[in-house]
Structure 1
Amino acid sequence: MINIRPVSDLRNKFPEIEETVIGSNTPVFLTKNGYGAMVLMSIEQYSALTDDIERNLDEADAFAANSSIRLSKSDVFDKIRSRVDEQAKL
């Protein structure tokens, strides 16, 4: 279940929000004046989202350090667009 709270709860009910985020391992969505403002999540949740990206970036850095191949920005985006278009056709 999505947990949506006003941002004032962060100040007024921090222990409760902390227990929700850490205890249930689910993010809490905070609103300000009725609009989404931010999302709170545990370090474990954040790591689960970013670890794979960080690992891939590290691999790309290692490849770049050992390769003389360089692509222009337009080459990179053209390759990405073609892959997205291929996926859209499936």
Structure 2
Amino acid sequence: MSYTQEAAETLALSALGWLAATDDLLPVFMGASGLTEADLRGQAADPAFLGAVLDFLMMDDAWVIRFCDDTGTAYTAPMQARAALPGGAQVHWT
């Protein structure tokens, strides 16, 4: 499935909400991003930030599986949504 930017943003917002509700991952995300809670709220509408949320989620397969299982999302959805957001295009070096 190919995502539109709007659908990708919706999935990324879902991932952000899931992260915010996941006590063991929210501090990891906050520490890795250097953001405050106010920053999170302020940047939640920024497509580039939402891409970074999906980048963070996809750092660990176990996180992707937990998110997808908890939200009823296909395991491939985060990667597909990421491709539709700024900076998500696959780079071919050859």
* TM-score, L = length of structure 2: 0.24
**By percentage of residues, which structure has more strand?**
1
* TM-score, L = length of structure 1: 0.25
State the structure with bigger RCO (CA 8 A, min sep 6), 1 or 2.
2
Which protein is bigger by CA-based radius of gyration?
Answer: 1
